[in-house]
Structure 1
Amino acid sequence: MQSHSYFRGDLLTSRILFAVIFLVCTALLAVAFYMEHVMGLEPCPLCWLQRFAFMAAGLVSLLAWLHGPGTIATRIYGFFLALAAGTGLGLASRQLWLQSLPADQVPACGPSVDYMLEVLPWSEVLATAVRGTGDCAAVVWRFLGLSIPGWSALFFVCVVLVGLYLCLRPAPKRPW
């Protein structure tokens, strides 16, 4: 009986971590939509892709939270969480790099994501979004010295670390 409660407590900790990550991703997406619809900040292609990465991390976390997985499934969910957040970190890093370029090296601004989705095939929209445009290099908002992709990168690092922890932590010791 005691061993069962030990495992349950360990699994509950994983569920709490997944719940927290889900809530953080939901809050970050709410802030992104607030910035877009209330503050009037138009998201660039890389911003859209980072939103999808937060959505993917949030979805993985929601599924894991609802599932209440055992040790092996927790590792699998942790891997996919780290993968989604790692992808987002790569995208945020790309945007930070574009923002660090001198003005004469910034790529040309492109059409809006909505327009590209109407006229271009998915593969070309994705390739253009990942490359980034001049819109992605513009720093339109800062908080405590960090731009939007800087804050995204910070949160993605935290989520990657949690995902790796869940994926790689040692299995709980059985007391027998």
Structure 2
Amino acid sequence: MLISKIPIRAWFATLALGCFGLVAIGMALQTMLHLAPCPLCIFQRLLYLVIGGVALLGFLWPRIRLAWAGLTGLLALLGGAVAGYQTWMQAFPELATECGYAEPNLIERLVDGLGMQWPGMFLATGFCTSRDWVFLGLSMANWSLLVFAGIVGYAIVFLGRKA
């Protein structure tokens, strides 16, 4: 099968470059279009960086490739849940409790701490229910949900391939 012919390191390198590239594109759009990311956007950005880092570890230490692939899949499931929640918030803003208006949750506290340390990368100044950027009818959260689903699929295919 064609999938088993792709070198293991190429799988991990592709995933790492893709995740880091998504973060770079997101930051470029934020700067050029003056977008204000919300805490959930920043948390998804963090998850892309962590998934990229795990994929980089898989590239460097491919002997435990199943552990790295499983971890990327689990992190992508978490990212999909966050992006799905933000998608729901954007679809039903009247039912959603906007980030920052209630007692800060774990994600908001983490993002606030990171934003104080690295404001250029992690400062959250936007609202989770706003759809400031739309491409082909989908918001940034919608696209992120699709990408996280793709990463989960990528991990499943990788886990199912023969060594």
TM bracket (short chain) = 0.7 to 0.9
Partner residue, 2:36: 42
Name segments (4+ residues, structure 1) moved above 4 Å.
120-124
CA shift digits 1:60-88 (9 cap, x unpaired): 11111122x13xx1111110110111111
Structure number with bigger Rg: 1
Distance (whole Å) between structure 2 residues aligned to residue 122 and residue 165 of structure 1:
32
- Alignment of 1:106 onto 2:96: yes
Partner residue, 1:89: 80
C-alpha displacement of 1:170 = 4.9
- Alignment of 1:164 onto 2:148: no
Partner residue, 2:123: none
Q: What is the percent sequence identity of the aligned residues?
A: 31
C-alpha displacement of 1:149 = 0.7
CA shift digits 1:22-42 (9 cap, x unpaired): 111011000111122222101
- Contact (CA 8 Å) 1:89, 1:156: kept in 2 or not? yes
Partner residue, 2:59: 65
Partner residue, 2:11: 17
C-alpha displacement of 1:144 = 0.9
Unaligned runs of 5+ in 1: 1-9, 129-133
Q: TM-score, normalised by structure 2?
A: 0.78
C-alpha displacement of 1:57 = 0.7
Q: Aligned pair in 2 of structure 1 residues 124, 42: CA closer, same or farther (>3 Å)?
A: closer
Q: TM-score, normalised by structure 1?
A: 0.73
- Contact (CA 8 Å) 1:74, 1:166: kept in 2 or not? no
